[in-house]
Structure 1
Amino acid sequence: MEIVAFGVQADERPLLESAFAGHHQVRSLDVLLNRDTAPIARGYEIVSTNVDADLSADVLQTLAAGGTKMVAQRSTGFNNVDLEAAADLGMSIGRVSHYSPYAVAEFAWALALAVDRRIVRAAGRTRNFDFRLDGLMGRDLHGRTAGVLGTGRIGEAFTRIAHGFGMNLLGWDIAENPRCIELGMRYVAQERLFAEADLITLHVPLVAGTRHLVDAAALAAMKDDAILINSSRGGLIDTAALVDTLKSGRLTGVGLDVYEEEAGLFHVDRSLDVVDDDTLARLMTFGNVLVTSHQAYFTEDAVGQIIDATVANVEDYLTGRINENMLVTRGQLPVAAR
């Protein structure tokens, strides 16, 4: 069987095609799946997509009309998928429930250290042989407080690194992680975490209850010199409110690997285009803000695990097996999702 895969990055392609070798052929495309590109999938029973895919009802209808019965998403998040529509169309939708938590946790720390120690600014200067230290002063993180919102696999990995730095640990989640408690984490209300943490990092999924978790009120509660890191989902932060906060001179640094309107922007080259997103354009003007293109997961280890899980999802679909990654199985939603 030939599978068409959308949104395949150049570094990802050999791993993807090698994993399916001997089982199925893969047609790897660098274009993203959306309303315009969905007709490309006509005739393919199985389509694989990345996190940037538009799997809204009309796109799913186009896929189904073209013969697609299974979508294997190469990502954990599925807020881009209309599951009800997929069920109505009798489709199967798979995802990757988990992969290396260290990839994202370590990248979140890379962002935190980069903005704290002004590394991007320093690197730009030294490349031009400007070796001044003006404006490059950072702070020790040892002895300061890390606030971790979401203490699952990734949040726990971040917490372990924070513990290694000798930081005080505050956490918030719907369920406490005993391994984080063993490291000295104290679970507190969101309001207290926002008010007391010097470094705040987000590791919760994007669902209705977490959209704009960091809103104007949360930002107002933070310390003026706090550092804010988001390597989870862009919609967790009210970006317009964040811009207003930065315009007022507050927050030492912000590291963002995600952006709430990133669809159609991230993972493609827009350097020759006029980007009409005024909010993102303004955000990028702040010297204490570092934006990367949703790459926290992008390590050989994590991508390899994502691809292996995708192969397993395809094989399970073809043999009629159901695994933990299936969000919709031949038109049936899991009981918890109904």
Structure 2
Amino acid sequence: MKVAVFGSKSYDRLFLEKVNQKYDHDLYFITPNLDLVTAALAKEFPAICVFVNDILDRPVLEILADQGVKLIALRCAGYDNVDLKVAQELGLSVVRVPAYSPYAVAEHAIALILTLNRKTHKAYNRVREGNFALEGLLGFDLHNRVVGIIGTGKIGRITGQILHGFGCQVLAYDPYPDREFGDRYGNYVDLKDLLTVSDIISLHCPLTAENHHLIDDKAIALMKPGVMLINTSRGALIDTQAVIKGLKSSQIGHLALDVYERESNMFFEDLSAEIIQDDIFQRLLTFPNVIITGHQAFFTTDALENIAETTLSNIAQIEQGKVCPNQISI
């Protein structure tokens, strides 16, 4: 199948071309992200391949459909950037990669927890400057700390398993509890109780209309003073303005983000020579107890190989008229 790959980076091309030796799709790599302006580049492509920051709202989807696009292949798990009702209305099939490497994201969440706690990023810079003082580097034992996992899909369960191995007391909240996880690694509680007693809270849930700004002023007010908050899921799970207030009052003692609710015009790009216009994001960067990474939690060779394999397999199954288990239906 002839496929336009939007928002493609060098690593996308490397892994997709490698896996495509088996599938022999006709891949065209397009550097810009998909939006209202670039949608015209999809003309004469029956399929497009997109990522998390591509825009697939009604105006874009209508352009795609008018140009003959029939298939939208997401090379990611989340699909909150796609208007699925409009896609269905226009006869567009949407497929995704529901799991690529849950270990990659879970391990990155652990890395953020350890870095925030033991301040290894600060120690690294100090030692390079000949400063071996320990003031300002004080951390705490993870052992026996209470960790709240919000969302126990594959990533959340693996994160909880790792933290259980550290000796943490793991609590979990999910509308659909996993019995094995609850029996072996943690205790399911309601969300209010989790927010109230956790020393560390880590988010591992998809973004829906119901949980948009799940972490808001009210949720933060329930948390223990000095709580550590980690988000490697979707940026809009957190009300950034509320978090900034929580940081200023010291209600939030540590914050690590791999995602940001207004990341689409920044993340995955080199803006080092530009002035970032997002004042809210710039405010976050002023706090010494905040770490932000640019949506890199998924970024391992294992994950990229799995993403390429599943994406190209999805496209092949749709092309051949087979049932694709990764097709999204509403």
C-alpha offsets along residues 29-77 of structure 1, whole Å, 9 cap, x if unaligned?
3321111211111111111011111011111112222221111010110
> 8 Å contact 2:108–2:297 — kept in the other structure?
yes
> 8 Å contact 1:69–1:92 — kept in the other structure?
yes
Measure the CA separation in 2 of the matches of 1:201 and 1:53: 26
Partner of 1:2: 2
Letter in structure 2 aligned against 1:88: E
CA shift, 1:173, in A, is 0.4
Letter in structure 2 aligned against 1:24: H
- The answer to whether structure 1 residue 255 and structure 2 residue 256 are counterparts is yes
Measure the CA separation in 1 of the matches of 2:185 and 2:157: 12
Measure the CA separation in 1 of the matches of 2:102 and 2:60: 31
What's the Cα RMSD here?
1.3
Measure the CA separation in 2 of the matches of 1:292 and 1:34: 24
> 8 Å contact 1:34–1:59 — kept in the other structure?
yes
- The answer to whether structure 1 residue 216 and structure 2 residue 217 are counterparts is yes
CA shift, 1:322, in A, is 2.2
Q: What is the identity percentage for the equivalent residue pairs of Structure 1 and Structure 2?
A: 40
Partner of 1:18: 18
Alignment of 1:278-297 (within 5 A): 278-297=279-298
Question: Could you say if the C-alpha distance between residues 318 and 184 of structure 1 is closer, same or farther in structure 2, counting changes exceeding 3 Å?
Answer: closer
Measure the CA separation in 2 of the matches of 1:297 and 1:4: 22
CA shift, 1:7, in A, is 1.7
Measure the CA separation in 1 of the matches of 2:36 and 2:271: 19
Partner of 2:243: 242
Q: Flag as ranges the 4+ runs of structure 1 deviating above 6 A.
A: none
Measure the CA separation in 2 of the matches of 1:121 and 1:250: 22
What secondary structure does 2:11 align onto?
coil
Any stretches of 5+ residues in structure 2 without a counterpart?
none
Measure the CA separation in 2 of the matches of 1:130 and 1:161: 33
What secondary structure does 2:155 align onto?
helix
Measure the CA separation in 1 of the matches of 2:143 and 2:276: 40
> 8 Å contact 1:171–1:187 — kept in the other structure?
yes
- Report the more deviating stretch, 298-307 or 24-33: 24-33
C-alpha offsets along residues 124-178 of structure 1, whole Å, 9 cap, x if unaligned?
2222222221111111010111100011111110011011000111110012212
Partner of 2:270: 269
CA shift, 1:198, in A, is 0.7
Aligned length: 329
Alignment of 1:306-321 (within 5 A): 306-321=307-322
> 8 Å contact 1:163–1:183 — kept in the other structure?
no
TM-score normalised according to structure 1 size:
0.94
Partner of 2:128: 127
Measure the CA separation in 1 of the matches of 2:250 and 2:231: 20
> 8 Å contact 2:220–2:251 — kept in the other structure?
no
C-alpha offsets along residues 222-265 of structure 1, whole Å, 9 cap, x if unaligned?
11121110000001111100001111123221110000111111
- Report the more deviating stretch, 235-244 or 83-92: 83-92
Letter in structure 2 aligned against 1:293: G
- Report the more deviating stretch, 36-45 or 166-175: 36-45
Partner of 1:331: none
Measure the CA separation in 2 of the matches of 1:184 and 1:313: 34
Measure the CA separation in 2 of the matches of 1:184 and 1:2: 46
Letter in structure 2 aligned against 1:286: F
Letter in structure 1 aligned against 2:63: T
> 8 Å contact 2:247–2:253 — kept in the other structure?
no
C-alpha offsets along residues 158-204 of structure 1, whole Å, 9 cap, x if unaligned?
01101100011111001221222222411111111111011100011
> 8 Å contact 2:226–2:250 — kept in the other structure?
no
Measure the CA separation in 2 of the matches of 1:243 and 1:86: 36
What secondary structure does 1:294 align onto?
coil
Measure the CA separation in 2 of the matches of 1:101 and 1:35: 32
Alignment of 1:1-338 (within 5 A): 1-21=1-21, 23-327=24-328, 334=329, 337=330
Measure the CA separation in 2 of the matches of 1:200 and 1:9: 32
> 8 Å contact 1:156–1:179 — kept in the other structure?
no
What secondary structure does 1:201 align onto?
strand
> 8 Å contact 1:257–1:293 — kept in the other structure?
yes
Measure the CA separation in 2 of the matches of 1:267 and 1:60: 23
Letter in structure 2 aligned against 1:278: D
